[in-house]
Amino acid sequence: MWVVTAAQMQTLDRRTIQEAKVSGLTLMERAGSGVVTHLIEAWGLPKGKKVVILCGKGNNGGDGLVVARLMAKKGAKLKVVLMAPLKELSPDAKIMYRRLSKIIRPSLFTVNPSEESLHSLTQDADLLVDALLGTGLSSSVRMPYSFAIEAMNASRAFTVAIDIPSGLDSNTGATLGVAVQADLTVTFGCPKLGLYLDSAIDKVGNIEVVDIGIPQDFVLDLNPHIHLLSQEMVRSLIPPRPPSSHKGTFGHAGIVAGSPGKTGAPAMAGLGALRIGTGLVTVATPQSVSPILESKLLEVMTEPMPESSQHLLGMEAYPVLFAFAATKSALAFGPGMGISPETTELLRLLLPQLEAPCVLDADALNGLAQHCQIFSSMKRPPILTPHPGEMARLLAASSSKQVNEDRIGVSRQFAMQHQVILVLKGARTVIAEPEGQVAICPTGNPGMASAGMGDVLTGMIAGLLAQGLSAWDAARAGVYLHGLAGDLAAATIGEQGLIAGDVITAIPHALTHTLSLQ
């Protein structure tokens, strides 16, 4: 599913109306109907409930008027707030107003409300619908719209935003003064880029996309380069399990990781690789920590490596590690590996020699932060999985805050410049590849902001590589399934206290869920 900017969506709407001969009223009707469908799925039937719909003067307000008409027919106790005089409504919104006014009493409309009346209308509502400003906003919200947004946010009602929560920049996700805090956002045609960026991540709630009949050819004519991962897409990437399968069918992943005090990271990476379906997994680790790791693992094998005086992997391990790597279908480097000049030198010498696809994470990235040229010298584009702090170190002059301010731009530029698959972890993880394509992951939750989650992801991606997926596909499928496993675990035990082990346990359920027909 392609993600678009506000200008691109305007182009799609215009072409659909002018070239596909779908009227603006038809698009508006489809949009409003889609909102009601998803609203009922998320919140329940509106019969007998107090529903307040706040409408601006543009087509976003027109969508809201369609929702009002459909909700009135379903028995809602309706109040409709028009933020502008009737004469200022857009042409299509005026038509939708007339259709609505035929079925509800004039007393149910409030036009040009005062600040006090906005708070009075919203404070005891069961449901609020935000149809105020839509995707065209590009400057700070002004009165009286700011009053309406503040009143909505002060209410405890379930809040649904139409297309995008009012007050958000639909391209950047930034809050333009004040923005609606939504529980559900129903967007139309294509997801808007700003829904997945910056402060929007905390404002949009759950996101649903409604097909309003935009021809796919029109979307492709935009030459889009950002897409949203979906169940259907990832389902097609999961390796099949033929009846004649054996453990060799699904590859052998090698995890090069671990150091004193950090044996949990390679253990979680190894288990992540196994749980995603890899046939065999072996962790190569310094010989002094290998017994500890063996005590943590049953199904994952270990291979002790010669170590430096600091009990880290250094040049002493090079010949043995080179032989180890030559027998693996895919490799991952970094979890709990530790940082030292000797470890960095080992990676600089070893990585360009490897034939197997690789994932580089954690300490591998930190050690190589001053040697980014090595990535383009590798025989296969590696998958890098930094969190924002590690990404900032790779960029040398940036802070994690600067990285998060332009997650897509930073990821795309680095992937193209260094010929890597870049997985920038965080809320709405971004995946970028050397040709400029970008994917955004919709799965995952705040409970996953805890130690070890990245180690599990590294193992999952390495496991998918070992099963034969391309680096681009392994990264996308791994990130999606990792987030979904976190969501399924959180649905059972909650977000507070969620740990990486819970996600590991939920990986098979994420696979089953994705392969289902739901």
In percent, the amount of the chain with pLDDT more than 70 equals 100
In percent, the amount of the chain with pLDDT more than 90 equals 97
Mean pLDDT of the 406-431 span: 96
Q: What is the pLDDT of residue 83?
A: 95
Structure-token pair, residue 517: 């027909």
pTM of the model: 0.94
Three-class SS of residue 2? strand
pLDDT tens across 384-402, in order?
Answer: 999 999 999 999 877 899 9
Task: Find tokens 């009922």 and name the residue.
Answer: 40
Question: Residue ranges per domain, the chain?
Answer: 6-224, 233-240+251-515
Phi and psi at residue 501, in whole multiples of 5°?
Answer: -60, -35
Mean pLDDT of the 121-129 span: 96
Three-class SS of residue 257? coil
pLDDT tens across 470-485, in order?
Answer: 999 999 999 999 999 9
Q: Are 329 and 253 in contact (CB under 8 A)?
A: yes
β-strands 206-210, 226-228 pairing: unpaired
Mean pLDDT of the 1-13 span: 95
Cα distance between residue 406 and residue 197, in whole Å: 8
pLDDT tens across 257-287, in order?
Answer: 999 999 999 999 999 999 999 999 999 999 9
Establish how many alpha carbons lie within 13 A of residue 436's alpha carbon, considering only the half-sphere containing its beta carbon.
3
Q: Are 173 and 195 in contact (CB under 8 A)?
A: yes
Q: How many CB atoms lie within 10 A of CB 323?
A: 9
Q: What is the pLDDT of residue 134?
A: 87
Buried b (16+ CB within 10 A) or exposed e, 241-262: eeeeeeeeebbbbbbbbbbeeb
Angle of CA points 195, 392, 206, to nearest 5°:
20
325 — pLDDT class (breaks 50, 70, 90):
very high
CATH 3.40.50.300 fits 6-224, yes or no: no
Q: How many CB atoms lie within 10 A of CB 373?
A: 10
> How far is the CA of 298 from the CAs of 162, 293, 457, in angstroms?
50, 10, 20
Is the pLDDT assigned to residue 517 strictly greater than 80? no
pLDDT tens across 103-120, in order?
Answer: 999 999 999 999 999 999
pLDDT tens across 179-230, in order?
Answer: 999 999 999 999 999 999 989 999 999 999 999 999 999 999 999 999 999 9
DSSP 239: P
Instruction: Give me the architecture of the 233-240+251-515 domain, per CATH.
Output: 3-Layer(aba) Sandwich (3.40)
Q: What is the pLDDT of residue 398?
A: 73
518 — pLDDT class (breaks 50, 70, 90):
low
Specify which residues 170 forms β-bridges with: none
Report the C-alpha dihedral over residues 452, 454, 460, 465, rounded to 10 degrees: -140
Phi-psi region of 458 (alpha: psi -120 to 50; beta: other; left: phi over 0): alpha
> Which of 406, 431, 404 is closest to 420 using CA atoms?
431
Q: What is the pLDDT of residue 370?
A: 93
Mean pLDDT of the 282-306 span: 96
